[in-house]
């Protein structure tokens, strides 16, 4: 397989298996050192309170939460755009930067 970048975006209804698919792909493609992220729900007492970002190497950051103080909002969740930008910075490094 060549080293040309390939991008995959997985969408679908909640609970359909998107995160499970991504985790399996990361496992199967580990020898190619995939980079990217997926999101996971943040739940408290069974109720969704927000979402966290998880990089394919395990780094985590809060993306959106009901208690974040931010002017950016999607539904009931406030989005931490600065944290999102900071989270993405290391993912944009090229192989020669590592």
Mean of pLDDT values over 33-40: 89
Q: How far apart are CA 94 and CA 72, in angstroms?
A: 30
The residue written with tokens 């931010």 in the block is 70
Write down the pTM of the prediction.
Answer: 0.79
Question: Where in the chain are the domains?
Answer: 35-91
Mean of pLDDT values over 61-72: 96
pLDDT band at 3 (very low <50, low <70, confident <90, very high): low
List the beta bridge partners of residue 40: 52
What is the chain's mean pLDDT, rounded?
87
Contact yes or no for 56/28 (Cβ under 8 A): no
Chain centroid offset of residue 75 CA: 19
Output the pLDDT for position 33: 85
Percent of the chain with pLDDT over 70: 90
pLDDT band at 7 (very low <50, low <70, confident <90, very high): confident
List the beta bridge partners of residue 3: none
Mean of pLDDT values over 24-50: 92
Output the pLDDT for position 95: 45
Output the pLDDT for position 90: 83
């Amino acid at each position: 397989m060549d080293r040309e970048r390939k991008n995959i975006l997985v969408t679908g209804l909640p609970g359909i298996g998107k995160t499970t698919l991504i985790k399996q792909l990361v496992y199967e493609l580990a020898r190619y050192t995939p980079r990217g992220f997926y999101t996971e729900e943040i739940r408290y007492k069974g109720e969704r309170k927000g979402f966290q970002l998880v990089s394919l190497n395990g780094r985590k950051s809060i993306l959106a939460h009901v208690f974040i103080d931010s002017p950016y909002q999607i539904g009931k969740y406030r989005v931490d755009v600065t944290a999102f930008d900071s989270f993405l910075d290391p993912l944009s490094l090229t192989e020669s930067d590592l």
